[in-house]
Structure 1
């Protein structure tokens, strides 16, 4: 007996619910972008119909001396010609796609699903203007996408929807380009924010440092599309919007901790981190030290 599911613009049936869900971001909280990092311990199948856009990676495990085989079939019944992969695979599915996926043993999958409005928001054009071909290929041909989805999985790990909206937006835009769904714009050496745009973005980040902030909101104050804004922002500040916001949060948290007037938990919340644990993980990733170690060295 199969189990029906709906995830953003993707719906279908599963042979059974996943045995493990490592991370999940529902579309309801992030402008029509959903993410799921899941695993099965035994063979199974899924059918799916895509209304927007679906980008995913599959990582097959081992059972005995055999590696999991992944079989992808097109068509609403899954009876159309199939593509069989051993071990790992990348998939891209556009609007109107219907198909079936079978796995012969243990496997792990990561999927990013876009509602039509989410794609249109990023490209500032109707989804019908994009020519999206269904792609199934070896994961080695799309390793950038694999790394991006793995990073998103780590951010969503252990949380229902706590991943930073700015991170999700940034990863989603990069995935669209790296997957082949959205062609990268021609290189423009002059891509940069004007002084006024840069000031307005800095002011927005300072005002909203303790609250969720999306890529769309940052692009809006600069009066730019999200795609061009990311390039212009990096051309001006030398880092991505997400890296810039993280850096500002770390700087504020260090100042608060150094003052000795707040606890680590309060410093985390006032600097825009969900909790002290997540703040500590960000500190170690960005500066190689825990918050207290970094503050102690600054005082010395």
Structure 2
């Protein structure tokens, strides 16, 4: 199918911001083995159609562009997270994992009725987790029992759970979250309100979650999505991500969030995002844990 046909079949939302066409080369050089632990692939829509129930239609952003960015930024591996615009159709994710030649792992979206054969195929492709999304502007959350059934299905595979929620959701979902028996990775620090203090009630509750429940991890990603101050330095987010890196050095991950879905105000320069890493992880030891040791332990522990 031609590019023209693709665009006529899936026209991006009118206010959709495409990913940065020429990100800068970062001054910070990631250590050998560094992992971009949160990124996505979108389509291309002619091969991997977007889900009918999607809440947004993006521009195509496929595996070739993702892997080119990986190399440009100086990373070695990726963790590719299933995008909500693809629903539970993981074909674009699996295609990217197969093409990565072991240099990528995946986080899938599955339904409670997923078959054992489908789970086995996802595992063979490199999937090591499922994602539960509770952000209502993106999905309609299901009852708690629905998610528990999925956890029961993935238990024998040794997968973990990735959770996406807004800061206001943490207190009402506390009992559900803390009932999960797996490792749980929270996307983007639980989306804190960065106009409040780091030690304030909201982010304090999130830090309590990590402190009292050692199976919880956090991605210290997406300053561009959380910031009020804005680019290039996102200074209002740095204290939050830095606090988690210092307090929980063995349970933090970092990722670009490329191609930055549903950004409204601006599209970040991925090279500039990489250059923020030394500000949140100021020592070589912290950077190695954040970018190499932690993601390898979580996603490649079954590989020598």
Structure ID, larger Rg: 1
Give the strand-richer structure, 1 or 2: 1
Asked if these proteins are the same fold (TM beyond 0.5), I'd say no
**TM-score tier (shorter):** under 0.3
TM-score computed with the length of structure 2 as normaliser: 0.26
